[in-house]
Amino acid sequence: MARWWFLIASVAGFLGVAGGAFGAHALKTRLTEQMLANFETGTRYLLVHAVALLVVGVLASREGVGNLTVVGTAFTFGMLIFTGSLWTMALTDTRWLGAITPIGGSALIVGWVALAVAAARGQLTG
């Protein structure tokens, strides 16, 4: 499973850097301040969770570490929904997507809580 977390993290990292550059250069004069802020928030959360997912991959590849599938899945789903809804909302001015964004944020929170539970149970050390 670790290789999937590495793959997803790598793609998310690429998209985060590319999205950040796109926002800073191509969108700066085309979006309202609020929509640009939404785009940048989605980008920031994508990059942070790409790194977090890399850590999940490293932990999952270690001998004796518990199953981190819930953590990785929650981070992946959260990145897709949170960043995806913010980016789409900013690029298309489809404001109703703001109602979906908290679902992605909740998934990211679930991922962090699942990671904390694994740590508390001693499942992160091999």
Query: pLDDT tens digits for 33-72?
Result: 999 999 999 999 999 999 999 999 999 999 889 899 999 9
Quick one: pLDDT at residue 112? 98
Domain enclosing residue 37, as ranges? 2-120
* Mean pLDDT computed over 76-98: 96
9: in domain: yes
Residue 34 lies inside a defined structural domain of this protein:
yes
Task: Decide if 47 is inside a domain.
Answer: yes
DSSP string, the chain: -HHHHHHHHHHHHHHHHHHHHHIIIIITTTS-HHHHHHHHHHHHHHHHHHHHHHHHHHHHTSTT----HHHHHHHHHHHHHHHHHHHHHHHH--GGGGGTHHHHHHHHHHHHHHHHHHHHTTTT--
- Is 126 a domain residue? no
Would 125 be classed as within a structural domain? no
What's the total number of domains in the chain?
1
At residue 5, the pLDDT reads 97
Does the structure show a pLDDT above 80 at 85? yes
